[in-house]
Chain A
Amino acid sequence: QIQLVQSGAEVKKPGASVKVSCKASGYTFTSYGIGWIRQAPGQGLEWMGWISAHNGNTNYAQTLQGRVTMTTDTSTRTAYMELRSLRSDDTAIYFCARAYSALLSFQYWGQGTLVTVSS
Protein backbone atom coordinates (compact mmCIF):
# COMPACT_ATOMS: atom_id res chain seq x y z
CA GLN A 1 0.00 0.00 0.00
CA ILE A 2 1.03 3.58 -0.56
CA GLN A 3 2.75 5.11 2.45
CA LEU A 4 4.58 8.29 3.28
CA VAL A 5 6.55 8.03 6.51
CA GLN A 6 8.03 11.20 7.96
CA SER A 7 10.91 11.78 10.33
CA GLY A 8 10.40 12.46 14.01
CA ALA A 9 9.69 15.60 15.99
CA GLU A 10 12.31 18.33 16.17
CA VAL A 11 13.03 21.15 18.60
CA LYS A 12 15.08 24.02 17.21
CA LYS A 13 16.25 27.41 18.40
CA PRO A 14 15.35 30.59 16.51
CA GLY A 15 17.71 31.14 13.61
CA ALA A 16 18.47 27.45 13.18
CA SER A 17 17.50 25.17 10.29
CA VAL A 18 15.44 22.01 10.18
CA LYS A 19 15.30 19.25 7.58
CA VAL A 20 12.26 16.97 7.53
CA SER A 21 12.23 13.74 5.55
CA CYS A 22 9.38 11.87 3.90
CA LYS A 23 10.03 8.30 2.78
CA ALA A 24 7.69 6.93 0.14
CA SER A 25 6.71 3.33 -0.55
CA GLY A 26 4.10 1.41 -2.51
CA TYR A 27 4.30 3.32 -5.78
CA THR A 28 6.76 4.44 -8.45
CA PHE A 29 8.41 7.37 -6.67
CA THR A 30 9.55 9.21 -9.78
CA SER A 31 6.05 9.21 -11.33
CA TYR A 32 4.73 11.69 -8.78
CA GLY A 33 5.69 14.76 -6.84
CA ILE A 34 5.62 15.59 -3.18
CA GLY A 35 3.93 18.60 -1.69
CA TRP A 36 4.64 20.08 1.72
CA ILE A 37 1.89 21.59 3.86
CA ARG A 38 2.18 22.93 7.39
CA GLN A 39 -0.27 23.53 10.19
CA ALA A 40 0.46 25.82 13.11
CA PRO A 41 -1.02 24.74 16.47
CA GLY A 42 -4.80 25.03 16.34
CA GLN A 43 -4.67 26.66 12.92
CA GLY A 44 -5.46 25.81 9.31
CA LEU A 45 -3.37 24.37 6.50
CA GLU A 46 -0.70 26.32 4.62
CA TRP A 47 0.67 25.15 1.26
CA MET A 48 4.45 25.44 1.30
CA GLY A 49 5.38 24.10 -2.10
CA TRP A 50 5.82 21.08 -4.31
CA ILE A 51 8.67 19.16 -5.89
CA SER A 52 8.69 16.79 -8.82
CA ALA A 53 10.39 13.50 -7.98
CA HIS A 54 10.86 13.02 -11.72
CA ASN A 55 13.06 16.03 -12.48
CA GLY A 56 13.40 18.01 -9.25
CA ASN A 57 11.35 20.99 -10.47
CA THR A 58 10.02 23.00 -7.57
CA ASN A 59 7.31 25.54 -6.81
CA TYR A 60 7.52 27.38 -3.51
CA ALA A 61 5.10 29.62 -1.65
CA GLN A 62 6.19 33.23 -2.07
CA THR A 63 6.05 33.73 1.70
CA LEU A 64 8.77 31.11 2.20
CA GLN A 65 10.90 31.89 -0.85
CA GLY A 66 14.54 32.10 0.14
CA ARG A 67 14.09 30.12 3.36
CA VAL A 68 12.79 26.79 2.06
CA THR A 69 14.42 24.13 -0.11
CA MET A 70 12.73 20.94 -1.23
CA THR A 71 14.76 18.05 -2.59
CA THR A 72 14.36 14.38 -3.40
CA ASP A 73 16.67 11.37 -3.33
CA THR A 74 15.37 8.85 -5.84
CA SER A 75 17.79 6.16 -4.66
CA THR A 76 16.10 6.08 -1.25
CA ARG A 77 12.64 7.23 -2.40
CA THR A 78 12.81 10.08 0.06
CA ALA A 79 11.75 13.72 -0.15
CA TYR A 80 13.20 16.41 2.05
CA MET A 81 12.06 19.85 3.15
CA GLU A 82 14.62 22.18 4.70
CA LEU A 83 13.53 25.42 6.36
CA ARG A 84 16.18 27.94 7.41
CA SER A 85 16.30 30.97 9.71
CA LEU A 86 13.57 29.48 11.87
CA ARG A 87 11.25 31.78 13.81
CA SER A 88 8.76 31.04 16.55
CA ASP A 89 5.91 31.28 14.05
CA ASP A 90 7.42 28.38 12.10
CA THR A 91 6.30 26.12 14.96
CA ALA A 92 3.91 23.75 13.24
CA ILE A 93 3.19 20.23 12.12
CA TYR A 94 4.75 19.70 8.70
CA PHE A 95 3.05 17.25 6.36
CA CYS A 96 4.27 15.75 3.11
CA ALA A 97 1.67 14.58 0.61
CA ARG A 98 1.74 12.97 -2.81
CA ALA A 99 0.47 14.76 -5.90
CA TYR A 100 1.14 14.06 -9.55
CA SER A 101 1.68 17.75 -10.17
CA ALA A 102 1.69 21.03 -8.29
CA LEU A 103 -1.79 21.62 -9.72
CA LEU A 104 -3.49 18.57 -8.25
CA SER A 105 -5.02 17.54 -4.93
CA PHE A 106 -3.23 15.48 -2.29
CA GLN A 107 -4.54 11.95 -1.96
CA TYR A 108 -1.86 10.43 0.26
CA TRP A 109 -0.36 12.15 3.28
CA GLY A 110 2.45 11.50 5.71
CA GLN A 111 1.71 11.36 9.42
CA GLY A 112 3.17 14.79 10.07
CA THR A 113 6.29 16.04 11.84
CA LEU A 114 6.07 18.51 14.71
CA VAL A 115 8.73 21.20 14.53
CA THR A 116 8.96 23.39 17.61
CA VAL A 117 10.98 26.60 17.47
CA SER A 118 11.79 27.88 20.93
CA SER A 119 14.65 29.57 22.70
Chain B
Amino acid sequence: EIVLTQSPGTLSLSPGERATLSCRASQTVGSTHLAWYQQKPGQAPKLLIYGTSSRATGVPDRFSAGGSGTDFTLTISRLEPEDFVVYYCHHYGSLPSTFGPGTKVDIK
Protein backbone atom coordinates (compact mmCIF):
# COMPACT_ATOMS: atom_id res chain seq x y z
CA GLU B 1 0.00 0.00 0.00
CA ILE B 2 1.26 3.45 -0.92
CA VAL B 3 1.24 5.78 2.08
CA LEU B 4 0.83 9.49 1.37
CA THR B 5 2.26 12.08 3.74
CA GLN B 6 1.18 15.72 3.50
CA SER B 7 3.07 18.68 4.83
CA PRO B 8 2.67 20.91 6.57
CA GLY B 9 -0.26 19.73 8.65
CA THR B 10 -1.43 23.32 8.98
CA LEU B 11 -0.37 26.26 6.84
CA SER B 12 -1.06 29.71 8.26
CA LEU B 13 -1.14 32.43 5.63
CA SER B 14 -2.89 35.68 4.77
CA PRO B 15 -5.28 36.34 1.90
CA GLY B 16 -3.36 37.19 -1.24
CA GLU B 17 -0.35 35.11 -0.27
CA ARG B 18 0.94 32.07 -2.12
CA ALA B 19 0.35 28.60 -0.64
CA THR B 20 2.51 25.59 -1.40
CA LEU B 21 1.26 22.22 -0.18
CA SER B 22 3.32 19.05 -0.35
CA CYS B 23 2.34 15.41 -0.81
CA ARG B 24 4.99 12.71 -0.55
CA ALA B 25 4.40 9.07 -1.44
CA SER B 26 6.10 6.05 0.14
CA GLN B 27 6.60 4.58 -3.35
CA THR B 28 6.68 5.95 -6.86
CA VAL B 29 3.26 7.06 -8.08
CA GLY B 30 2.42 7.15 -11.78
CA SER B 31 2.37 10.75 -13.00
CA THR B 32 -1.21 10.37 -14.21
CA HIS B 33 -2.48 8.96 -10.95
CA LEU B 34 -2.33 11.73 -8.37
CA ALA B 35 -5.23 14.02 -7.50
CA TRP B 36 -5.95 16.87 -5.11
CA TYR B 37 -9.26 17.61 -3.40
CA GLN B 38 -10.54 20.59 -1.44
CA GLN B 39 -12.93 20.01 1.44
CA LYS B 40 -14.96 22.73 3.07
CA PRO B 41 -16.55 22.13 6.49
CA GLY B 42 -19.65 19.99 6.30
CA GLN B 43 -19.21 19.27 2.59
CA ALA B 44 -17.99 16.45 0.42
CA PRO B 45 -14.51 16.78 -1.05
CA LYS B 46 -14.28 18.60 -4.37
CA LEU B 47 -11.89 17.46 -7.09
CA LEU B 48 -9.39 20.22 -7.91
CA ILE B 49 -6.59 18.43 -9.79
CA TYR B 50 -6.32 15.04 -11.49
CA GLY B 51 -3.50 13.41 -13.39
CA THR B 52 -0.99 15.33 -11.21
CA SER B 53 -1.49 18.67 -12.97
CA SER B 54 -4.84 18.87 -14.80
CA ARG B 55 -7.42 21.20 -13.32
CA ALA B 56 -10.92 19.80 -13.00
CA THR B 57 -13.79 21.60 -14.71
CA GLY B 58 -14.49 25.01 -13.23
CA VAL B 59 -11.44 25.13 -10.97
CA PRO B 60 -9.86 28.62 -10.95
CA ASP B 61 -6.44 28.96 -12.52
CA ARG B 62 -4.92 30.17 -9.26
CA PHE B 63 -4.75 26.44 -8.44
CA SER B 64 -1.87 24.60 -10.06
CA ALA B 65 -0.08 21.36 -9.31
CA GLY B 66 2.83 19.27 -10.41
CA GLY B 67 5.39 16.72 -9.39
CA SER B 68 6.58 13.25 -10.22
CA GLY B 69 7.84 10.08 -8.64
CA THR B 70 7.18 10.46 -4.96
CA ASP B 71 6.93 14.25 -4.58
CA PHE B 72 3.93 16.31 -5.59
CA THR B 73 2.86 19.88 -4.95
CA LEU B 74 -0.35 21.89 -5.00
CA THR B 75 0.11 25.65 -5.33
CA ILE B 76 -2.49 28.33 -4.76
CA SER B 77 -1.03 31.47 -6.31
CA ARG B 78 -3.07 34.06 -4.41
CA LEU B 79 -5.25 32.90 -1.56
CA GLU B 80 -8.88 33.96 -1.64
CA PRO B 81 -11.00 33.89 1.55
CA GLU B 82 -12.79 30.71 0.40
CA ASP B 83 -9.48 28.85 0.00
CA PHE B 84 -8.87 28.60 3.75
CA VAL B 85 -10.00 25.01 4.13
CA VAL B 86 -8.52 21.47 4.00
CA TYR B 87 -6.75 19.86 1.05
CA TYR B 88 -6.14 16.16 0.44
CA CYS B 89 -3.92 14.39 -2.05
CA HIS B 90 -5.06 11.04 -3.45
CA HIS B 91 -3.17 8.37 -5.34
CA TYR B 92 -5.10 6.00 -7.59
CA GLY B 93 -2.40 4.30 -9.61
CA SER B 94 -2.65 1.01 -7.78
CA LEU B 95 -4.95 -0.66 -5.29
CA PRO B 96 -5.64 0.14 -2.59
CA SER B 97 -6.12 3.74 -3.53
CA THR B 98 -5.13 5.98 -0.62
CA PHE B 99 -5.52 9.55 0.59
CA GLY B 100 -3.08 11.76 2.43
CA PRO B 101 -3.97 13.02 5.94
CA GLY B 102 -4.70 16.51 4.69
CA THR B 103 -3.29 20.02 4.99
CA LYS B 104 -5.39 22.70 6.62
CA VAL B 105 -4.85 26.20 5.27
CA ASP B 106 -5.91 28.72 7.86
CA ILE B 107 -5.84 32.48 8.16
CA LYS B 108 -2.81 33.95 9.91
Contact = CB atoms under 8 A, between A and B. Distances in A.
Contacts of A29: none
Interface string B42-70: 00111100110000110000000000000
Nearest to A47: B97
A103 B94 CA distance: 7
Interface stretch (A7-15, A66-74, A84-92, A106-114): A106-114
B45 A45 contact: yes
Contact of A102 (B47, B56, B97): B97
A8 to B, nearest CB: 15
Interface in B51-104: 51, 56-57, 88, 90, 92-102
A86 to B, nearest CB: 21
Which of the four size classes fits the interface of chain B? 20 to 34
B21 interface: no
B99 A103 contact: no
Nearest to B101: A44
Contact of B95 (A97, A99, A102, A110): A102
A44 B100 contact: yes
A91 B56 CA distance: 31
Contacts of B56: 107
Contacts of A61: 96
B92 A105 contact: yes
Q: Which 5 A-B pairs have the closest CB atoms?
A: A109-B44, A105-B35, A45-B99, A105-B50, A47-B97
21 contacts: A37-B99, A44-B99, A44-B100, A45-B88, A47-B98, A47-B99, A62-B96, A95-B44, A95-B45, A97-B44, A102-B92, A103-B92, A103-B93, A103-B94, A103-B95, A103-B97, A106-B37, A106-B45, A109-B45, A111-B44, A112-B44
Interface of B: 1, 33, 35, 37, 44-47, 50-51, 56-57, 88, 90, 92-102
